[in-house]
């Protein structure tokens, strides 16, 4: 038994050093040499400042102002926000697009509260987009626009979702609709090798490109 | 939908194509042969034997083998618990994390030791980089290796020709060779591929940023790629991030998704080929593989179709869940756009037939019937590919059971690969088969029948019951995926300060995982020890064959029968009620 314990104790030490330290540091070293940008988080800088990661979806809302021009707060003291019309909007997020504290919405398929959530999501989506696209019906709203993603920081929206929002962006930024759709196409991550996965429009990259092309002051 | 079926078919084809290569290689590793890697890894292997002071040539009988396994597991348990409870002393703790509470740490430690990786904790808000690397990821390797060595020992027991010494191999040699020749090289390869696609590997502190609209945020970082790779390869499933493989830093695009799915299944599928090679009849391996595949494909098909249909709550709210131009449609709640319905459905099936438990979509947000699939897979007790090693030994127990039942039907002494299956083996097999379902049901009953389970439940109605059932079925099967509304840990902020565990759920879950892991292992090793001493009889005309389609059908029947008889009443109360109705609760 004593021998068994000694061997086991040594095994704990040896394997922890090998698998717990040598392995991750080895992988890190390979990453720093071969894929530094990717291994460091695909960081995106604008004007020398870090604005996020191209892999991580982020918030594109703006604060709602009260009558005195001050940020409005809800009953819990949290600032009230609304989608900022000058940006393409991400999918809804259950964790306020926080990549440092992710969790699932755990919204069940038959939950009464889910019906309320989807109804609200649908009507606020229509309220935002219809002024710019009068013919828009609820049936045209793709499902990704009203459901929360898994990670809460899904960087993509569907092409259908982006094409609806294009009407608003074209109007607000005074760009031809065709040009906006062109930008959407340029920032769509297609299926891998043409058939794996689903195409998605990278919202952060698209918004950065928009701001470069038609900045608003 | 065609697009989706095409992707699923392609994935399965790639997997099957790699089986002979990987499976054959593993057979050579366990036969102690010199392989291509020996030149690089050989010195390290001999160095480890030297440090551990073990003689790899000295065989162990099943009791010796079991003793080594249990003692080293116990010491690893203690080491992990200590690591997780001393986080404030750690190097590589840029976020200044404190330790978790004792109860949730008990759960987490048991979870990683048993290849479960159930997560009551959130990775990026509770764990130091040191805990993730030197604590959790080490267990991702070791628990996987333990599963694999047990099935190899069982196969040796099956093929041995009346081995009087009762030797089923040397545990230390098997553990070392599995780690050095199989898990580590494949993990390095996987990690490098994942990194090239954007999975992060850095020791930087979390980075603050100001988004385009001016709001500030924080990017959680860490050594993810090295952990992601072994997490899938070892069918572990514990995410570096709380949102697991849906988080883009763990799984940024459809190629990484494909690689990760491949890593999850490559060892469990290839081991069936290894088995065929080791018993000297590849058809035996293919027969087991065929039985597993039929159930797997059925599971994938059901979950894909169910999710494409959309959820009742979405229909009632007037959301269009049909595919339209530029959108896949379907139930995208809790799913990522880049994976869509097909790859999320495929993943949900892959992660629950194996004991992986990593998720790229929220299981709790699956539709009723879609959510039934993971639960049904869990009812099969890891026989459909299962965890690395664990899956094959669980299935081999069912093979012995099927041989026994077949033998009773034709009225002959049951024989399996020339060995008589007698009372002792059948008793041990029966126990081995029944431990997991029994533990799952008893734990669920304790959690739902007493008031102590209530604080963990999130949703109302049948969904709440499904959460509890899923939690204990998942932990008993050492799976680790969850209807994640079920909670055992409450965290007011991101560094564990002020957190407290739900002691009942933490302890019950921890015990469930350990009992359902180690008891079957002991039964399996005992079966190996019993078979190893038996004489091999030549097959006669009356011998029931275990490598033909008839046997495959019988085997599937036995698996489904045991699973259905055990779990059907419980499943009725949760997912089936939800799947059969459009009502909301």
User: Which one of A2, A151, A169, A193 makes the best mutation probe of the B interface by having the most chain B beta carbons within 10 Å?
Assistant: A151
Within chain A, strands assigned E span 43-46, 49-53, 61-63, 81-83, 156-157, 188-189, 200-202
Q: For residue B488, what are its two tokens?
A: 């055992």
Cross-chain Cβ contact B583/A110 below 8 Å:
yes
Q: Which whole-number Å values give the CA distances from B402 to B275, B380, B398, B416, B434, in the listed order?
A: 18, 15, 6, 10, 14
pLDDT at A187 over 80: yes
Rounded Cα–Cα distance for residues B560 and B295 (Å): 9
HSE-up of residue A103 (Cα within 13 Å, Cβ side): 20
Write a three-state SS string for B479-504. Answer: CCCCCCCCCCEECCCCCCCCCEECHH
Which are the contacts of B214, defined by CB distance < 8 A and separation ≥ 6? Answer: none
| % of chain A beyond a pLDDT of 90 | 88
ipTM at complex level: 0.96
Which are the contacts of B575, defined by CB distance < 8 A and separation ≥ 6? Answer: B368, B369, B371, B372, B375, B462, B466
What is the average per-residue pLDDT within B531-550? 89
Rounded Cα–Cα distance for residues B537 and B200 (Å): 55
- Render the burial of A37-74: b for 16+ CB within 10 Å, e for the rest: ebbbbbbbeeeeebbbbbbbbbbbbbbeeeeeeeeeee
Q: Check: CB of residue A72 under 8 Å from CB of residue A80.
A: yes
What is the average per-residue pLDDT within A47-73? 92
Cross-chain Cβ contact A14/B328 below 8 Å:
no
Q: How far apart are the first and last CA of chain B?
A: 30
Tell me, what DSSP letter sits at residue B536?
P
The angle formed by the CA atoms of residues B28, B30 and B32, to the nearest 5 degrees, is 75
Per-residue pLDDT at B576: 85
Rounded Cα–Cα distance for residues B360 and B539 (Å): 47
Cross-chain Cβ contact B255/A196 below 8 Å:
yes
Tell me: the pLDDT tens digits for A79-136? 899 999 999 999 999 999 999 999 999 999 989 999 999 999 999 999 999 999 999 9
Question: What is the CB neighbour count within 10 angstroms for residue A154?
Answer: 28
Q: How confident is the model at residue B38 (pLDDT cuts 50, 70, 90)?
A: very high
**B482: nearest CA partner in chain A:** A106
Rounded Cα–Cα distance for residues B355 and B391 (Å): 8
Rounded Cα–Cα distance for residues B163 and B148 (Å): 22
Tell me: the pLDDT tens digits for B210-220? 999 999 999 99
The angle formed by the CA atoms of residues B458, B243 and B448, to the nearest 5 degrees, is 25
Q: For residue A213, what are its two tokens?
A: 């092309």
Per-residue pLDDT at B496: 87
Per-residue pLDDT at A67: 86
Cross-chain Cβ contact B338/A150 below 8 Å:
no
Q: Residue B441: which region, alpha, beta or left (left: phi > 0; alpha: psi -120 to 50)?
A: alpha
**B200: nearest CA partner in chain A:** A39
Q: Which residues of B touch A62 (CB under 8 A)?
A: 213
User: Which one of A12, A22, A198 makes the best mutation probe of the B interface by having the most chain B beta carbons within 10 Å?
Assistant: A198
Rounded Cα–Cα distance for residues B552 and B561 (Å): 14
Q: How confident is the model at residue B164 (pLDDT cuts 50, 70, 90)?
A: confident
Tell me: the pLDDT tens digits for B382-407? 999 999 999 999 999 999 999 999 99
Helix axes B62-85 and A2-15, enclosed angle (nearest 10): 50
- Tally C-beta pairs within 8 A across A and B: 406
Rounded Cα–Cα distance for residues B295 and B288 (Å): 11
Tell me: the pLDDT tens digits for B356-373? 999 999 999 999 899 999
**Mean of per-residue pLDDT scores for chain A:** 95
Which strands sit side by side in the sheet containing A188-189, from one edge to the other? Answer: A156-157, A200-202, A188-189
Locate the domains of chain A by residue range.
Answer: 2-38, 43-213
Tell me, what DSSP letter sits at residue B366?
S
Rounded Cα–Cα distance for residues B181 and B579 (Å): 45
Given B133, B210, B333, which is nearest A24 (Cβ)?
B133
Rounded Cα–Cα distance for residues B357 and B355 (Å): 6
Rounded Cα–Cα distance for residues B243 and B334 (Å): 10
HSE-up of residue B103 (Cα within 13 Å, Cβ side): 15
Rounded Cα–Cα distance for residues A178 and A15 (Å): 59
pLDDT at B410 over 90: no
What does DSSP say about strands A81-83 and A61-63: parallel, antiparallel, or unpaired?
antiparallel
Higher pLDDT, A173 or A73: A173
**Nearest alpha-carbon partner for A110 in B483, B463, B304, B458:** B463
Going B157 to B161 to B166 to B169, the CA torsion angle's sign is negative
Q: How far apart are the first and last CA of chain A?
A: 76
**A55: nearest CA partner in chain B:** B248
The angle formed by the CA atoms of residues B567, B568 and B571, to the nearest 5 degrees, is 85
Q: How confident is the model at residue A194 (pLDDT cuts 50, 70, 90)?
A: confident
**A18: nearest CA partner in chain B:** B138
Locate the domains of chain B by residue range.
Answer: 2-208+218-579
Question: What is the CB neighbour count within 10 angstroms for residue B547?
Answer: 18
| % of chain B beyond a pLDDT of 70 | 100
Does residue B548 sit in helix, strand or coil? coil
Per-residue pLDDT at B178: 97
What is the average per-residue pLDDT within B143-165? 94
Rounded Cα–Cα distance for residues B84 and A84 (Å): 43
Q: How confident is the model at residue B413 (pLDDT cuts 50, 70, 90)?
A: confident
pLDDT at A5 over 90: yes
**A86: nearest CA partner in chain B:** B213
Given A23, A105, A138, which is nearest B334 (Cβ)?
A105
What is the average per-residue pLDDT within B51-68? 96
Q: Tokens 């080791």 appear where?
A: B278
Q: How confident is the model at residue B484 (pLDDT cuts 50, 70, 90)?
A: confident
Within B225-333, strands assigned E span none
pLDDT at B478 over 80: yes
Cross-chain Cβ contact A192/B258 below 8 Å:
yes
Does residue A101 sit in helix, strand or coil? coil
Q: Which residues of B touch A11 (CB under 8 A)?
A: 52, 72, 75, 172, 175
Which are the contacts of B229, defined by CB distance < 8 A and separation ≥ 6? Answer: B186, B187, B188, B189, B190, B191, B194, B263
Q: Tokens 């050989």 appear where?
A: B42
**Nearest alpha-carbon partner for A121 in A149, A93, A152, A147:** A147
pLDDT at B156 over 80: yes
Q: Which residues of A touch B177 (CB under 8 A)?
A: none
Question: What is the CB neighbour count within 10 angstroms for residue A135?
Answer: 7
Helix axes B461-476 and B549-571, enclosed angle (nearest 10): 130
**Mean of per-residue pLDDT scores for chain B:** 94
Q: What is the dihedral of CA B492, B496, B499, B504, to 10 degrees?
A: 130
Q: Tokens 């950065």 appear where?
A: A208
pLDDT at A70 over 90: no
Question: What is the CB neighbour count within 10 angstroms for residue B508?
Answer: 24
Phi, psi (rounded to 5 degrees) for B66: -65, -40
The angle formed by the CA atoms of residues A134, A138 and A143, to the nearest 5 degrees, is 125
Per-residue pLDDT at B459: 85
Given B54, B217, B332, which is nearest A58 (Cβ)?
B217
Cross-chain Cβ contact A107/B192 below 8 Å:
no
Per-residue pLDDT at B412: 83
Rounded Cα–Cα distance for residues A193 and A190 (Å): 8
Question: What is the CB neighbour count within 10 angstroms for residue A208?
Answer: 18
User: Which one of B140, B240, B248 makes the best mutation probe of the A interface by having the most chain A beta carbons within 10 Å?
Assistant: B248
Which are the contacts of A2, defined by CB distance < 8 A and separation ≥ 6? Answer: none
Rounded Cα–Cα distance for residues B362 and B370 (Å): 12
Q: Residue B121: which region, alpha, beta or left (left: phi > 0; alpha: psi -120 to 50)?
A: beta
Q: How confident is the model at residue B376 (pLDDT cuts 50, 70, 90)?
A: very high
User: Which one of B46, B212, B456 makes the best mutation probe of the A interface by having the most chain A beta carbons within 10 Å?
Assistant: B212
Q: Tokens 């041995």 appear where?
A: B160
Q: For residue B341, what are its two tokens?
A: 């319905």
Rounded Cα–Cα distance for residues B275 and B280 (Å): 8
Q: Which whole-number Å values give the CA distances from B170 to B38, B315, B328, in the listed order?
A: 19, 58, 52
What's the whole-model pTM score?
Answer: 0.96
**Nearest alpha-carbon partner for B195 in B235, B220, B238, B224:** B224
Tell me, what DSSP letter sits at residue A56?
S
Q: Which residues of B touch A103 (CB under 8 A)?
A: 122, 242-243, 484
Q: Which residues of A touch B499 (CB under 8 A)?
A: none
Per-residue pLDDT at B1: 81
């Amino acid at each position: 038994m004593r021998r068994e314990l000694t061997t086991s104790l040594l095994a704990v030490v040896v394997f922890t050093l090998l698998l717990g330290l040598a392995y991750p540091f080895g992988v890190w070293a390979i990453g720093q040499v071969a894929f530094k940008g990717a291994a460091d988080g695909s960081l995106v800088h604008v004007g020398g400042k870090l604005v996020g990661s191209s892999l991580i979806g982020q918030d594109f809302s703006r604060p709602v102002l009260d009558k005195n021009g001050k940020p409005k707060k809800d009953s819990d003291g949290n600032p009230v926000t609304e989608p900022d019309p000058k940006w393409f909007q991400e999918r809804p997020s259950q964790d306020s697009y926080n990549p440092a504290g992710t969790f699932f919405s755990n919204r069940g398929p038959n939950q009464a509260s889910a019906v309320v959530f989807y109804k609200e999501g649908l009507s606020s989506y229509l309220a935002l987009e219809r002024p710019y696209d009068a013919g828009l019906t609820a049936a045209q709203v793709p499902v990704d626009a009203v459901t929360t993603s898994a990670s809460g920081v899904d960087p993509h929206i569907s092409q259908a979702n982006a094409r609806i929002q294009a009407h608003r962006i074209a109007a607000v930024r005074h760009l031809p609709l065709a040009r906006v759709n062109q930008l959407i196409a340029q920032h769509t991550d297609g299926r891998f090798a043409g058939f794996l996965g689903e195409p998605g429009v990278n919202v952060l990259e698209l918004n950065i490109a928009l701001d470069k092309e038609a900045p608003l002051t | 939908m065609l697009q989706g079926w095409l992707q699923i078919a392609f994935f399965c084809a790639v997997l099957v194509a790699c089986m002979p290569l990987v499976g054959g290689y593993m057979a050579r590793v366990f036969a102690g042969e010199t392989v291509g890697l020996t030149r690089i890894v050989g010195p390290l292997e001999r160095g480890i034997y030297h440090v551990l002071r073990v003689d790899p040539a000295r065989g162990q009988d099943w009791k010796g083998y079991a003793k080594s396994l249990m003692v080293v597991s116990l010491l690893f348990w203690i080491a992990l618990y200590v690591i997780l409870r001393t986080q404030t002393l750690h190097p590589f703790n840029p976020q200044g994390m404190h330790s978790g509470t004792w109860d949730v740490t008990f759960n987490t430690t048991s979870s990683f030791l048993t290849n479960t990786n159930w997560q009551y904790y959130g990775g990026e808000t509770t764990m130091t980089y040191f805990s993730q690397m030197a604590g959790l990821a080490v267990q991702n390797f070791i628990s996987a290796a333990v599963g694999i060595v047990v099935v190899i020992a069982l196969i040796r027991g099956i093929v041995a020709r009346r081995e009087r010494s009762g030797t089923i191999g040397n545990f230390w040699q098997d553990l070392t060779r599995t780690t050095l020749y199989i898990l580590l090289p494949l993990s390095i390869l996987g990690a490098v591929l994942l990194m090239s696609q954007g999975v992060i590997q850095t020791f930087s502190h979390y980075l603050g940023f100001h988004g385009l609209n001016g709001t500030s945020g924080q990017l959680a970082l860490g050594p993810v790629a090295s952990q992601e790779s072994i997490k899938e390869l070892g069918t572990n499933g514990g995410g570096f991030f709380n949102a697991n493989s849906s988080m883009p830093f763990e799984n940024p695009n459809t190629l990484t998704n494909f690689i990760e799915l491949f890593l999850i299944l490559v060892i469990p599928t290839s081991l069936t080929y290894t088995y065929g090679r080791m018993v000297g009849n590849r058809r035996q391996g293919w027969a087991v593989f065929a039985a597993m595949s039929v159930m797997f494909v059925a599971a994938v098909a059901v979950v894909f179709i169910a999710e494409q249909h959309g959820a009742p709550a979405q229909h009632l709210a007037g959301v269009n869940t049909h595919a339209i131009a530029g959108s896949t449609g379907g139930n995208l709640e809790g799913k990522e756009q880049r994976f869509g319905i097909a790859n999320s459905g495929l993943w949900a099936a892959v992660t629950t037939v194996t004991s992986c438990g990593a998720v790229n979509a929220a299981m709790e947000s699956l539709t009723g019937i879609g959510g039934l699939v993971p639960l049904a897979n869990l009812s099969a007790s890891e026989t459909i590919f299962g965890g690395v090693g664990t899956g094959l030994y669980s299935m081999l127990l069912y093979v012995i059971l099927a041989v026994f039942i077949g033998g009773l039907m034709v009225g002959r002494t049951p024989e399996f690969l020339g060995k008589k299956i007698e009372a002792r083996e059948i008793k041990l097999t029966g126990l081995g088969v029944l431990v997991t379902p029994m533990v799952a049901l008893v734990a669920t009953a304790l959690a739902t029948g007493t008031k102590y389970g209530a604080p963990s439940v999130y949703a109302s109605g049948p969904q709440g019951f499904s959460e509890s059932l899923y939690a204990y079925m998942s932990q008993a099967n050492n799976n680790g995926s969850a209807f994640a509304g079920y909670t055992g840990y409450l965290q007011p902020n991101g560094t564990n300060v002020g957190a407290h565990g739900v002691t009942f759920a933490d302890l019950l879950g921890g015990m469930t995982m350990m009992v359902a892991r180690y008891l079957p292992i002991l039964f399996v090793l005992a079966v190996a020890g019993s078979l190893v001493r038996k004489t091999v009889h030549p097959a006669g005309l009356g011998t029931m064959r275990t490598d033909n389609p008839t046997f495959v059908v019988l085997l599937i029947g036995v698996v489904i029968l045991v699973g259905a008889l055990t779990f059907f009443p419980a499943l009725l109360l949760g997912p089936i009620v939800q799947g059969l109705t459009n009502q909301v609760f």
